[in-house]
A and B are shown apart, each in its own frame.
Chain A
């Protein structure tokens, strides 16, 4: 895209996509913003045709002053942080394992990717009924086999359970991205480090990990976007009980339980703000890996 002509041609050709994308994002965003400043209770007869009453910031102050708000923000952050930690750490380890020449490599790789293709609802159901059920779950059999008291996962370790489920779903993604990154590492660099007297752990720390920096950044950013809005896993397993109510889930409950669209929209705007804070925070920590 060097010449003036090719630049303007590019602009023209990109226009439809840009307009579509903008519309796609802007319309819901503006509607959410609008609803958040109005009293909108469909069951009480409010509707867009009849006009909504402007209520200023009262939805916002009501949402934030509710007892459930700050705990839900905390739950969200713990959940996202936990899943990120597990997927990145295990992802790096798995990627290094899969990079070794091992027997049946192709099959193993497909198996590792498989969880990514399972729908969140389905995987949550499988975890809930097959693995974590306190009476008949595989885990409870395992626990009993070793003479331990089975854990009622979704009640006693509810947030941990959700983190486990989400990690299981996102581990393949992390592994895949990190695997391609590891494969692009020049083996002569590792050999040079070996000659320079770096034992395996130091080679990992000084050579492999910095090489993976950019890939880890991408994994963290992309996963954060999706993890902030996790819903099905919570809905299917705990229904938001036992301290698993994330901000997303709280908004859903506000809209459904109290049929209050205005209040829910205000929550949605808070979620946008939270996502942006997290994003800015992440960019600060890891974003410098992206340039250079």
Chain B
């Protein structure tokens, strides 16, 4: 079990309100990702759930019981920190066993659980090392091991992969996803990397300045962003947002077209411009296009290797049914 409900939760540091009243339900077994730009309050929200910060007003319920006043240890949640927060003077085994020792479990059971966690996380060979003698990825796994032995109601992750290099990050991303599939425990995961959010989440919560902009599955957010902020934040490369006369043609203040929804044509496209930078990835080519008269730069993804170079003129056709329309307040206009 691990249903978490936030009801009218606010948080202020002194006079500054970081989280205005916020409601959110995280269902049991769900992989929920908080995503948003730096400083938007993701960590604060996670720490409120963990109990490491006091809520200014509002309620938190865990499994239907009011947990607002509970100390962190009593909430049955486990947290993985960005800095891993391993205990440097304890061996890996002792690190993983620490929460069990604190729970006064008997040592046979502790050994059993630690060994089980270590084998799941490929840490068996490192159990007697100190954290200082491990690589970043191994440390990350120890931190996760320390969280899973407690069999918590939910896991909280605060940017757990941001200290790892790109290749390791992709690997750990998969491992955490697999862990979630196997344990089927609620996970709340904070990141500012929208690729992590898209690939891992069952449900994404997009935050801006402490306000929830949209909640939904990755594809809901991709297909129907509620406003221009979500539209620009979800998807990589970013959606092209176009204002002015071109938008007016569609009865909107702003229109948005994703780079992958614009086709490059030989001639006679609706739009044209000059190629600024062309990024050739082999499988795709990303063009950054200037002088279109629509927006400062337009990003377009072409499938395969299209041989257009810097300075060439490019002809484009947006796919009419993939154009998102937004009103003057930036809110989505239904089709």
Contacts and interface: CB of A to CB of B under 8 A. Distances in A.
A196 B50 contact: no
Nearest to B75: A195
A28 to B, nearest CB: 41
B103 A197 contact: yes
B98 A193 contact: yes
A211 interface: yes
A46 interface: no
Contacts of A202: 102
Interface in B186-209: none
B85 interface: yes
B99 interface: yes
Given A196-B73, A196-B99, A206 B81 contact: no
Interface in A176-193: 186, 188-189, 191-193
B242 interface: no
B67 to A, nearest CB: 13
Contact of B83 (A186, A194, A196, A207): A186
The B interface, classified by DSSP as helix, strand, loop or mixed, is: loop
Contact of B99 (A189, A191, A197, A213): A197
Contacts of A186: 83, 85
A195 B98 contact: no
A63 B86 CA distance: 55
Interface residues of B, number: 25
Contacts of B51: 195
B252 interface: no
The A interface, classified by DSSP as helix, strand, loop or mixed, is: helix
Contacts of B86: 189, 192
Interface in B119-169: 130, 146, 150
Contacts of A194: 52, 71-73
A211 B86 CA distance: 12
B81 A196 contact: no
Contacts, number: 59
A195 B88 CA distance: 17
B60 interface: no
Contact of B81 (A191, A211, A213): A191
A194 B183 CA distance: 24
Given A202-B102, A206-B98, A195 B87 contact: no
Given A188-B85, A213-B89, A195 B102 contact: no
B79 A195 contact: yes
Contacts of B90: 210
Q: Interface size bucket, A side?
A: 10 to 19
A188 B83 contact: yes
Interface string A138-156: 0000000000000000000
Contacts of B83: 186, 188
B78 interface: yes
A211 B52 contact: no
Contacts of A192: 79, 81, 85-87, 146
Given A196-B98, A197-B102, A210 B89 contact: yes
Interface string B62-73: 000000000111
A202 B73 CA distance: 13
Contacts of B103: 197
A195 B89 contact: no
A191 B51 CA distance: 10
Contact of A195 (B73, B82, B130): B73
A187 B85 CA distance: 9
A141 B79 CA distance: 56
A191 B52 contact: yes
B89 A196 contact: no
B77 interface: yes
B186 to A, nearest CB: 15
B77 A189 contact: no
Interface of B: 50-52, 71-73, 77-79, 81-83, 85-90, 98-99, 102-103, 130, 146, 150
Q: What are the 8 tightest A-B residue pairs by CB atom distance, in nearest-first order? A: A196-B99, A192-B85, A197-B73, A188-B85, A197-B102, A210-B89, A188-B81, A195-B72
7 contacts: A188-B81, A188-B82, A189-B85, A189-B87, A192-B87, A198-B102, A206-B87
Given A189-B86, A196-B150, A199-B73, 10 more contacts: A188-B81, A188-B85, A191-B79, A191-B85, A192-B81, A194-B71, A195-B73, A196-B99, A197-B102, A207-B87
